[in-house]
Structure 1
Amino acid sequence: MNMRVLYGAGPGDIDGYGTERLRAEFLIENLFVPGEIAFAYTHVDRMIVGGAVPRDAPISFGDGAEVGTPLFFTAREMGIANLGSNGAVTIDGKRFEVGNRDIVYVGRGAQEVVLESADSAQPAWFYMNSVPAGADIEHRLIRKDEAKPLELGDEKRANKRRLAMYIHPEVAPSCLLLMGITDLAPGSVWNTMPPHLHERRMEAYLYFDMASEDRVIHLMGRPDNTRHLIVANGDCVISPAWSIHMGSGTGPYAFVWGMTGENQAYNDVNPVPVETLR
């Protein structure tokens, strides 16, 4: 396991950031390396994001040295989304067979998690979000067809999309983690409209199902002081609570959203009129 650390920044800090510094603080690349597992720890609400692509052998983790506790899950919970081919997640001997776009919830207190692919030639892609937790909740598999869908947006405004809630009080409860997947309708390119803030929750965006030549232009920053990141397939953006988050793609894409904070109400947002953006 390797763990990158990001320290985050305040809204006033980004005035002095060039492209490379902005990317270093808010963009996580190279999460999905065949045969390896990678994590990034951000001090923005202490979320950890991770990626793993098991090939010929399973990949396991559970030691807490990198987070300062006896076990990784001594005081944490996690969602594990499979964005690739079929695989399995085993938690302390309990095995969950996971297909594409299934998500496994790992509760506080787990000792070991084992990730494996059903076919090394067509591996699973496991994407992970972990946040501090103060409650013991049972491990659970949430299949794609068990997620709660929300139809959002307008085809005429190129932002029609389907949001699926997986780890959410209405589907599978957690302590503080929310997690789901959003797909854009054919011909739509904008992933979040209207842009908004949620001061009580931070968010991580993992963009996937993109062609290698395509990019998402992800907008961030305060509404009156925006910046942008150019994002490729498999890249993750850390979005602090003070920042807007919206983006437009040059081709088809989807994204996994993960959130943490005191408020788990998905509609707990402050919309920002587009005409006020700068």
Structure 2
Amino acid sequence: MADQQPGFTIPREKYYIAIAEIIIFSVVQIVQVTMKFLQEWRYWHHSKRKSYARCFLYSWFGLLGLLAQIRVAGSAIVIANSQPDQSLLIAETVLQSVGLSPLLFEVSLVLLRSGQSGQSGPGNSRHPKYMRFLLHSFRIPVLISIVLVVVGGIIDIRACTDAGTAVFVVTFVFIYGLIGWLALRVRPVLPPNGYHCVLVVLMTLPFLAVRVAYFLLGQYGSEKFSPVTGSGGVMVGMSLVMEIFIVILLLLARAVAEPFLPMREVEAESVA
């Protein structure tokens, strides 16, 4: 993360982008909370007793909701401080970097839900055990890599940032291959809704690739790729628009795997 000179002022275009992000991701939070609450209530997959409070808690802290909260917080920093000091610049850059992990975690969870399509109750996935293990486990190196990048940026240790970036790239390539392989292999195993969910997640990969490229260019590219001080047009095209498409597709994938059916129809499908 490049050091900024004293008196640096955030470009005016970034101010307007920040306002747009607050509006967009506030809407994302409302939509995902509503959808996830209905799905949690109708397809309760947890061992704890179902309740409205637990459904709301799981919904509010859904990973797309976490992304929305991170984006709103980062944009609020931009709006509140047109001439931020170094610590605020680092905070905003960190929030931009951390936002990738909720998207990849949500990919993992949506694919796991594809194996439970049309079912309610815990432990009824149609995915084989090794596939469930892979879908769970790739979140660990994603988390480790993001932590290394963030810590390396905060304490200015380039080796830490480089190690985190390398782990992230390797993990993303693995995720890319895993989703493609899953789409080819699971059709005989999953019900139509579950398989269609996997195909929708597959559609997110090009947008995720662009978003990851922006993350890497922010670390190693020119100043115009900086999420805080770089080009507003590049940020909108490679980050904001990509995240909007990814969020829409992941919400759609969840809706395909767990459609909003009346409870009696869900129970009938579970019995069948």
TM-score between both structures, scaled by the size of structure 1? 0.26
Q: Which has the larger radius of gyration?
A: 2
Question: Using CA pairs below 8 Å that are at least 6 residues apart, which structure has the higher relative contact order?
Answer: 2
Which one has the bigger strand percentage? Answer: 1
